[in-house]
Amino acid sequence: MIFAKMSRTGNGLLSQVSGAGGAPVHFPPLRYNHKFRAKFWSETNNMIRFLQDQGPLKKAILGGLLVIICGAMVITLIPGGLGSSLGIGGPGQGVVATVAGQEIRSDEVQRVARQILQQQFPRGGAQASMFLPYFVTQAREQLITQEVLVVQAEKMGLRASDEELRDELQHGQIGQILFPQGKFVGDEGYQSFVSSNGLTIPQFEALEKNFILIRKLQELVTSGATVTDLEVRQEFARRNTKVKFEYAVLRKEDIEKSIHPAEAELRAFYDRNKAAYNNAIPEKRKVRYVVIDSAKIDAPVSKDDLFAYYDQHREEFRVPDQVNVRHILIKTPLAGPDGKVDPKGVEEARKKAEDVLKQLKSGAKFDDLAKKYSDDPGSKASGGALGWIGKGRTVPEFEKAAFALPKGGTSDLVQSTYGFHIIRVEDKQEAHVKSLDEVKAQIEPIIKQQKTTQIADVQATALLAAARKGGLEAAAAAKGLQVVSTDFISRTDSLPGIGSSAPFLDAVFNQRDKAPADEVQIPQGFAIFEVTEIKPPATPTFEEIRSRVETEFRNERSGLLLSQKTQELSDRAKAEHDLKKAAREVGATVKTSDLVLPDGQVPEIGSMAGPAAVAFTMKVGEISGALNSGTSGAVLKILERQDPSEQEFAAQKDTIRDGVRQQKKQELFELFLTSLRTDMDKSGKIKLNQDEMKLLTRTQNSDEGE
């Protein structure tokens, strides 16, 4: 049970949300796991591939869909005038694109791109950062798609209310993060969760409202999706038909072993594919640097430092009136469609609650009764424990009774909209501000880190100025610091005192040739560096990459031979009506499968959802064409086909109908989105700022060319 009295404040919609007892629960910093939103974007990114096969059915679906929503779309798709269509007055500096006048800013694109990069390369590193320009483009497209849908939803009169947002954050997929085991993480936990992703609470809540709007739009657009009985029957047969087959297999690795290319063949292959080897040797650089290590800086924290920080952040240490409570809840029925509550059900709940209270007064343990009778899943297992709750964090009836009780007191029955409560107060605490002594251990490391960073920054700035004036060696020597000089390094190398620092290596490889010394912040502190020599990307000679050329030659040749031999195997088997004989003639291995379903696996064939899926369309005794998986080739002969029973159909038909309906809904929405995006592009509603994108995706080569 979640007790909540939520209202929008400067801290966001959840600033007054409580868990089962309303007490703020302090957690380590939480990460916004974007897998909760990945499904939507995954489906969005698949839309273009889906629409490449524009069959008549899809066109018919789209035509019908546009008739339904054309009224709303006309409003959205009116061109924005001559200036809009010509791009006059386009997005300004710091804005990557606009959708119907709504800005998509560069910092927002960068934030999403970094999140995508983190998802794809959780360990990070310099190598991963090289892909950031690609993810910048992907992030821009995602944000444009989102804004297109939000704009259309609003044009069609859809809205996302504060109440819907509260329900989403509390009971949606993110609810398991914000309300673990039914208890709110508290204001600090909520703030940490949001800020750890580079967002403010208003930004985060606006983003969540956008997802609610998109979901509403999707439900509206796809509400007409229907599934016929024939479609259910066909999908059932497709999923549940089993086949058993004989199969002859040729392996690419076996063919490759027989390939022994001559030197002339390899040189000809190298010359033919020389364009693919252009700049195959990556750029390398020599660098000299000095590290200012924050860990080596002594920054003692004085009493004055502690008091100043405490005084500036006093409100953070304020503790409100609180009570530590347990409760037992006996639920009452919910209101029916007419808004009325069944009085008989309420009376039954009252009698049950009175019986529990009677047992309690007779000496039964509160936590035992809570575990046995309470209808609150969030606190039942812990004997009804809700923890500390403050005022304004629970429903009024519960709050009034809890704060009126003395320490150790137990209430009579307290009725709220949820049912009947029995409340026990374990402890009480009056409002106060924690003393400096109480929070000293908490704030001292923060102050020390701040002072250390400030000192390191000052030292780095001074060292940089001295290095630019008199050279890095002299500047470092004057400060007693060591200069590290490297041989040629790449973006993936680990360096002494720095390691594989993406910020440092990015700065080094983005530095212009013969540029003065520069400064970059690194996890260890700061580094002052200068690039001393650049070895540009190069195309290797044949001798330098002979081994790679031979590997690629053998791979290409074996792939061609595999296709040829597999086709020959199929042709012979069909001509002779004998798969085993044909296999002996071409040197293939023959095996027999078990009865297998469409989602099954067969040794050396792999997934039956791949090329081997053709087996489910074949008759008993029929021989397949050549099937090529890339690593092996196969030819099948169907031995047995087993159709599913009517009993299986009866058990699965409802699930299959739901699955087919969901697939149809996705297809409808994909068609809708693609049409909407195309029309908004043509009408000038979407404006791109290519100059801003160039800034975000700029490479070293483009920098040097400017």
Tokens 């054309």 belong to 70
Based on the fold, state whether residues 67 and 159 are members of the same structural domain: yes
Report pLDDT for 60.
Answer: 36
State percent of the chain over pLDDT 70: 83
* The two three-digit tokens of residue 357, written as one number: 């209270």
3-state secondary structure of 312: helix
Following CA atoms 349, 352, 354, 360 in sequence, which dihedral angle do they give, to the nearest 10 degrees?
-140
CA distance 595 to 517: 70
pLDDT at 159 over 80: yes
Describe the strand order of the beta sheet including 627-628 as a list of residue ranges.
589-592, 242-251, 632-642, 627-628
In a domain, 653, yes or no: no
Domain end among 489, 516, 535 = 535
In a domain, 1, yes or no: no
**Burial of residue 67, with CB atoms counted within 10 A of its CB: 0-12 exposed, 13-18 middle, 19 or more buried:** exposed
Lowest mean pLDDT among 386-400, 488-502, 557-571: 386-400
Q: Is 471 left (phi over 0), alpha (psi -120 to 50) or beta?
A: left
* The two three-digit tokens of residue 1, written as one number: 């049970």
**β-strand partners of 607:** 601
Following CA atoms 533, 534, 535, 537 in sequence, which dihedral angle do they give, to the nearest 10 degrees?
170
In a domain, 73, yes or no: yes
pLDDT at 448 over 70: yes
* The two three-digit tokens of residue 682, written as one number: 């043509």
Structural domain of residue 568, as residue ranges?
242-277+544-642
Q: 224-262 pLDDT, tens per residue? A: 889 999 999 999 999 999 999 999 999 999 999 999 999
**β-strand partners of 286:** 533
DSSP state of 611: G
Based on the fold, state whether residues 523 and 584 are members of the same structural domain: no
Q: How many domains does the chain have?
A: 4
Based on the fold, state whether residues 506 and 387 are members of the same structural domain: no
Instruction: Return the HEC string of 527-564.
Output: EEEEEEEEECCECCCCHHHHHHHHHHHHHHHHHHHHHH
Based on the fold, state whether residues 134 and 186 are members of the same structural domain: yes
In a domain, 338, yes or no: yes
Amino acid at 185: V
pLDDT greater at residue 182 or residue 213 = 213
Q: 602-660 pLDDT, tens per residue? A: 999 999 999 999 999 999 999 999 999 989 999 999 999 999 999 999 999 999 999 99
Q: 299-350 pLDDT, tens per residue? A: 899 999 999 999 988 888 888 888 999 999 999 987 766 667 788 999 999 9
Q: Kindly report the pTM of this predicted structure.
A: 0.50
Based on the fold, state whether residues 197 and 74 are members of the same structural domain: yes
Highest mean pLDDT (candidates 92-96, 168-172, 537-541, 693-697): 537-541
| Res. 672 pLDDT band, cuts 50 70 90 | very high
CA nearest to 165, candidates 156, 153, 154, 174? 174
| Res. 16 pLDDT band, cuts 50 70 90 | very low
In a domain, 635, yes or no: yes
Q: Are 521 and 498 in contact (CB under 8 A)?
A: no
Percent of residues in the chain assigned helix, strand, coil, to nearest 5: 55, 15, 30
Based on the fold, state whether residues 204 and 63 are members of the same structural domain: yes
pLDDT at 592 over 70: yes
Based on the fold, state whether residues 584 and 672 are members of the same structural domain: no
Give me the chain's average pLDDT, please.
82
Tokens 């007490």 belong to 23
Q: 161-174 pLDDT, tens per residue? A: 888 888 888 888 88
State percent of the chain over pLDDT 90: 53
* The two three-digit tokens of residue 560, written as one number: 């061609």
pLDDT at 125 over 90: no
pLDDT at 381 over 70: yes
Lowest mean pLDDT among 82-86, 89-93, 545-549: 82-86
pLDDT at 183 over 90: no
Based on the fold, state whether residues 108 and 181 are members of the same structural domain: yes
CA distance 184 to 563: 60
| Res. 64 pLDDT band, cuts 50 70 90 | very low
Report pLDDT for 84.
Answer: 29
CATH number at residue 203: 1.10.4030
Domain end among 535, 559, 589 = 535
Report pLDDT for 594.
Answer: 96
CA distance 228 to 661: 10
Work out whether the CA dihedral 198, 203, 205, 208 comes out positive or negative: negative
CA distance 299 to 3: 46
CATH number at residue 514: 3.10.50
In a domain, 625, yes or no: yes
Contacts of 611 (CB under 8 A, 6+ apart): 627, 628, 629, 634
Based on the fold, state whether residues 615 and 572 are members of the same structural domain: yes
pLDDT at 358 over 70: yes
**Angle formed at CA 664 by CA 663 and CA 668, multiple of 5 degrees:** 120
Please name the residue ranges forming H helices in 78-200.
Answer: 82-86, 106-120, 126-129, 132-155, 162-171, 175-178, 186-195
pLDDT at 28 over 50: no
Q: Are 516 and 502 in contact (CB under 8 A)?
A: no
Based on the fold, state whether residues 421 and 443 are members of the same structural domain: no
Q: Are 680 and 148 in contact (CB under 8 A)?
A: yes
CATH number at residue 392: 3.10.50.40
Based on the fold, state whether residues 402 and 472 are members of the same structural domain: no
In a domain, 652, yes or no: no
Q: What is the mean pLDDT of residues 156-184?
A: 84
pLDDT greater at residue 467 or residue 184 = 467
Domain end among 430, 447, 462 = 430
Based on the fold, state whether residues 44 and 169 are members of the same structural domain: yes
In a domain, 2, yes or no: no
pLDDT at 11 over 60: no
Q: What is the mean pLDDT of residues 460-464?
A: 95
Distance of CA 560 to the CA centre of its chain: 40
Q: 107-120 pLDDT, tens per residue? A: 888 888 888 877 77
Tokens 């499904």 belong to 39
